[in-house]
Amino acid sequence: MSKKKLPDPLTPDERAALLRVPNRRYLSGLRNLVMMRIMLDAGLRCAEVLALRVAHVDLNTGKLFVREGKGKKDRALWLNPDTIELLREWRERREHQSELYFTTRDGGPINSRYLRAMMERYSERAGLNRHCSPHTLRHTFATDIYKQTRNLELVRRMLGHRFLSTTAIYLHVADPEVEEAMKSFRV
């Protein structure tokens, strides 16, 4: 019987440090920053952000469609205004007018290995002293949205999970009632 590891989301300070690493003056830095922001602000999986097409994002409303995510499921999400502005900037500056939002310098699709290696490199530069992957950003999103809403069903739908039991892991990571009870226990 294998035990599932609890997610280890980024703290607000770690998140801020990570997002300061990419240099927006360079196209690849801006592209990488936008990819990380979308994963952090919408909970996209690595494959979902790499498959994101221009037609899937409405920059006027902030609505983002995930087409055929894991399990071939579609879902709609909304981006915050700061992320929309970053997407606008990226869309205006990118060199290749591909259907894909994020491409290599040559206009080809980005490999998931590149995104994982980039995350490791950036987390090192940010001084995080821990493993940081694209899925860490998804866990951070899920934990933050659960802490804010306390609505596990809402988080399930945002993440595109089929079963609530899959999403229930965030109860163990972000449970303010347990945290408060334990901190004040036998004081």
- The active-site residue, picked from 31, 94, 138, 139, is 138
- The active-site residue, picked from 101, 122, 146, 170, is 170
What tokens were used for 36?
């990380």
Q: Is 138 a catalytic residue?
A: yes
Q: Is 45 a catalytic residue?
A: yes
- The active-site residue, picked from 24, 63, 116, 135, is 135
- The active-site residue, picked from 20, 26, 53, 70, is 70
- The active-site residue, picked from 15, 31, 37, 45, is 45
Of 8, 18, 57, the closest CA to residue 170 belongs to 8
Q: Is 161 a catalytic residue?
A: yes
- The active-site residue, picked from 31, 56, 94, 161, is 161
> Within 13 Å and on the Cβ side, how many CA atoms surround 141?
25
Q: Is 170 a catalytic residue?
A: yes
Helix-, strand-, coil-residue percentages of the chain, each rounded to 5: 55, 5, 35
Rounded CA separation 31/13 (Å): 22
Q: Which residues are the active-site residues?
A: 45, 70, 135, 138, 161, 170
